[in-house]
Each structure stands twice: as C-alpha cells, then as structure tokens.
Structure 1
C-alpha cells in the first residue's frame, strides 16, 4: 500500500488565508497609530468645552499640525471655575482674538514630557508669554493650575491635564 501524498492547498483556501492575514495586519496596524492632539481631547467628554473653544478660535488645523506641541489642557471643570458667562462670552466671534490668546497660552512649542516639566521654572508659550512652573511636594503647578494628569500621548505632541484655566497677563 502506498503512502498518501500531500495535496496542494486549493487556490481558494490560499486566497482566504491571505485575506485573513491582511485584515488582521490592517487591524493591528490601526491600533498602533496615535491620534493628534485634537482627536485625543475630542475623544474625551471631559474636554468638550476645550474642544468647543479650539473650534471657535479656529485652532483645530494648527493643533492637528505636525508640531510637536505640549498642551496644558483644562478640563470642563476647570472652565466651570471661570466667572459665570465667561466661556459663553469668549466663544462669541467678536472675542476670537482674546480666545486665541488664552488658548495659545496653554500651548508650549515642542514636546515637554512630565520628566522635562519638573526641571523647568518657566516655559515660553505659543502666545508669547511665559508660564510659571513650580514643583512642590511632588505636585506640579503651571501658573495657578494643578497638573492632574501627565504625558497623554498624541501623534504630534503631549497633553498634560490641568484643573484651572490659566490666563495670560
């Protein structure tokens, strides 16, 4: 009796296996791709006020640019600390310049990680003024805002979450 010979895989089965491999590779590749700063904050409900402000200021494309940028991102709770009516007023088209100044005061050019921030006493912002940085008992303050989360990665920089909206002088 002769031994069974191996039969070649049918062409259809090879095509199916190749398709499965390509789809799996595409899915895995999609998880590796980081989102830009705007997409990261837009994907978190805690930043809906910041997203609305960035849109009203016309800064979406800028913050989607190659950067890198370091953004000190105030939460919705941080915006809620402002005097009543302030956010609504800043979102009006006639106050766009003031809104741009405030938002760009929250952005530092370059990628400044938490390890870098703790070595600084100040950092020059995109707006042009410098923010004060203070480390005390392991806590980091930027101007009068407490940094509550650090090193949120984005494809074009890094985000540090703050609990207060900081204002240029």
Structure 2
C-alpha cells in the first residue's frame, strides 16, 4: 500500500515538475519573441442555478427550479449546495407526479428546498464531515428539514431526508460562484 502511494506521489510530482518546466520554457520563448499585447477571454463563472441549466443531464431539475421560482434564490450570494436529481431520477417518479408538481409551484418549491442546504459541500468537504461524524453527518435544508449523509452499502454517499427517502450521489463538484451542485440518482420526495 505504501509502495503504491509512493509511486503515485512520485508520478504526480514528475508530471507537475514537467508541466512547470514546460510552462516556464513556453513563457520564456513567448516573452522574447512576442511584443504584441494579447487579450485572454475567460468563460464567465456560473452560479448554481445556471450550472443546472448548462448540464443537459439536469434539465428537468433546472426547469423545476425555474418553475418553483427557486432560481432567484440559487442565483443569490449563497453559498448553497444543491443535491440535484438527474433526469433519470425524475423519470422514476410515479406517473403523473412530476406533471402535478410542475402545476403547483408552491409544492414544487417545498420539494426542491429539501435538496438544497446552505453552505459549500464539495466531495472533500463531505468526506471531512463524515469523518468528523464517524460515518454520518447531518445538514439542514432550506426548508428546515434534516438531511442525513452516510456511506451506503455500495460505498457511495447516501442522502436520507426526514421522511426516510434516500438517494445516492452520482456526480460531485459542479462548482459555481455561489456554491456547488452534486448530482443524485433519486428525488427526495
């Protein structure tokens, strides 16, 4: 185990060092051969509501957030962590449930607030919380409910709401300017 760790660490160090040397070489050549000014265009950073809209696997969640009027909150200062059900998770709801929710923005907003917590929880931060809690951590959702985090029998992160509904995190760390979106495989209804 230690030998594998050392090999990985040495490989990462070598890659980092080589990249740094390559970058320095490029900078030196660039500085001595170019006298023109260049403008770098950067992609604007996205808030958590826009991250949902930008990812096609979360288009149903994005539509639901907008329909419920929660997009205004999720574009705010934050930080927020959204545990967003993917499109497959929404498709697993009983027939007609999603349509009924979309017709009732108040009920939809309550459901969605159960997927959002105040704070910034990337995978690394969740692992720290689980370690500190000896395998369990609790977070409070925007609607004031408790969301329990634990490791599932499949060795994945499992979320369980106050009603006992569970889902597993399937995608981590879609980081935005005001928080993070982690994708889940179920709707915590």
What TM-score do the two structures reach when normalised by structure 2?
A: 0.70
Residue matched to 1:162: 184
Residue matched to 1:100: 109
**How does 1:42-53 map onto structure 2 within 5 Å?**
42-53=53-64
1:54 equivalent in alignment to 2:68: no
Whole-Å separation in 2 of the counterparts to 1:50 and 1:149: 14
Whole-Å separation in 2 of the counterparts to 1:117 and 1:130: 15
Q: Deviations over 1:78-107 (max 9, x none)?
A: 001110111111011xx2221111101100
- Structure number with bigger Rg: 1
What's the CA shift for 1:148?
Answer: 0.5
Residue matched to 2:52: 41
**Where do 5+ consecutive residues of structure 1 fail to align?**
1-16
Whole-Å separation in 1 of the counterparts to 2:125 and 2:188: 20
**Where do 5+ consecutive residues of structure 2 fail to align?**
1-35, 131-135, 161-165
**How does 1:115-134 map onto structure 2 within 5 Å?**
115-118=124-127, 119=130, 120-134=136-150
Number of residue pairs aligned between Structure 1 and Structure 2:
142
Residue matched to 1:135: 151
Q: CA RMSD in A?
A: 1.6
Q: Secondary structure at the match of 2:73?
A: helix
* Residue of structure 2 aligned with 1:88, choices 99, 118, 122: 99
What TM-score do the two structures reach when normalised by structure 1?
A: 0.78
